[in-house]
């Protein structure tokens, strides 16, 4: 049986086999459903509670590094069942599995500078929500975000950077333009506004809106503080 592109994507993202096995296996092997690992939280409230507990451990420098041992690795070889999507910034200081003290298979992590949405990011989120039935999406901004800072600079100077960085700035700039500058930390105000804006876009996305409206999916904005290691929920 010939494998479809959709089937190949699902099999590879679920993580049923490695690349070497995939090359050697006949096409019909991909049509066999992969077994699922033991389920995690099945609702957004329970998922959010685990994230909050994990961040408290991270903040206290008391991380437990769960789900990293041999048994978990073997379990993940046959499938995945993450309990939350984290759309975070690509910033090297904000790694979701560390910030929330979670392990293999817990989080479906997507990272782009400034949490900027594009077709690849949206496709990844939709896959997790529709095919993996993840009940929670967290849009995680952070203090001192360089992408947001670049958009603030463009807002103040009227000059947008060239190339791919310019694309990022252009996506964030409307949020910056709409954020009041009250003389405080304007960049941080824009970080919060950007996380909330992206959350709103996701809630209204055509692929996600029905899941949100029926209560099967919740989407929440948050901000990570680099100095305190704490996540605040917006």
Whether 101 and 216 share a structural domain? yes
Beta-carbon contacts of 164 under 8 Å, excluding residues fewer than 6 positions away, are none
- Asked if 81 contacts 38 with a C-beta cutoff of 8 angstroms, the reply is yes
Helix (H) or strand (E) holding 146: helix 146-157
Backbone φ, ψ for residue 221 (5° rounding): -90, 155
Q: What pLDDT was estimated at residue 4?
A: 42
Whether 93 and 10 share a structural domain? no
Tokens 């010939």, residue located: 2
- Asked if 34 contacts 62 with a C-beta cutoff of 8 angstroms, the reply is no
Domain count, the chain: 2
Whether 93 and 159 share a structural domain? yes
Whether 25 and 99 share a structural domain? no
Whether 204 and 90 share a structural domain? yes
Whether 58 and 9 share a structural domain? no
Euclidean distance between the first and the last CA atom of the chain, given in angstroms as a whole number: 49
For each of the chain's 234 residues, which pLDDT tens digit applies?
A: 343 434 444 444 444 433 333 333 333 333 334 445 556 788 999 999 999 999 999 999 999 999 999 999 999 999 999 999 999 999 999 999 999 999 999 999 999 999 999 999 999 999 999 999 999 999 999 999 999 999 999 999 999 999 999 999 999 999 999 999 998 999 999 999 999 999 999 999 999 999 999 999 999 999 999 999 999 999
Q: What pLDDT was estimated at residue 183?
A: 86
Whether 26 and 122 share a structural domain? no
CATH of the domain at 166: 3.40.1050.10
Whether 174 and 140 share a structural domain? yes
Whether 171 and 78 share a structural domain? yes
- Asked if 142 contacts 223 with a C-beta cutoff of 8 angstroms, the reply is yes
Range of the domain at 12: 1-32
Whether 190 and 80 share a structural domain? yes
pTM equals: 0.83
Beta-carbon contacts of 115 under 8 Å, excluding residues fewer than 6 positions away, are 87, 88, 89, 139, 140, 141, 194, 195, 198
Calculated CA dihedral for residues 59, 63, 66, 70, nearest 10 degrees:
150
Tokens 């950007």, residue located: 194
């Amino acid at each position: 049986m010939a494998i479809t592109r959709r089937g190949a994507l699902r099999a590879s993202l679920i993580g049923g086999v490695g690349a070497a096995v995939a090359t050697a296996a006949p096409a019909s092997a991909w049509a066999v459903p992969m077994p699922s690992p033991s389920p995690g939280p099945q609702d957004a409230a329970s998922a959010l509670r685990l994230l909050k507990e994990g961040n408290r451990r991270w903040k206290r420098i008391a991380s437990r590094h769960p789900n990293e041992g041999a048994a978990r690795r073997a379990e993940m070889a046959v499938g995945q069942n993450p309990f939350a999507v984290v759309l975070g910034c690509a910033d090297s200081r904000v790694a979701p599995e560390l910030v929330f003290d979670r392990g293999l298979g817990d989080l479906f992590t997507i990272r782009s500078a400034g949490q900027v949405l594009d077709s690849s990011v949206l496709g990844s989120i939709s896959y997790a929500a529709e095919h993996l039935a993840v009940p929670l999406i967290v849009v995680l901004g952070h203090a001192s975000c360089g992408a947001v800072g670049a958009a603030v600079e463009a807002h103040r100077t009227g000059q947008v950077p060239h190339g791919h960085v310019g694309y990022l700035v252009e996506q964030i700039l409307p949020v910056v333009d709409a954020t009041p500058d009250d003389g405080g930390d304007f960049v941080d105000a824009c970080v919060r506004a950007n996380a909330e804006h992206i959350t709103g876009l996701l809630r209204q996305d055509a692929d996600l809106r029905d899941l949100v409206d029926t209560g099967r999916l919740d989407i929440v904005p948050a901000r990570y503080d680099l100095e305190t290691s704490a996540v605040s929920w917006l």
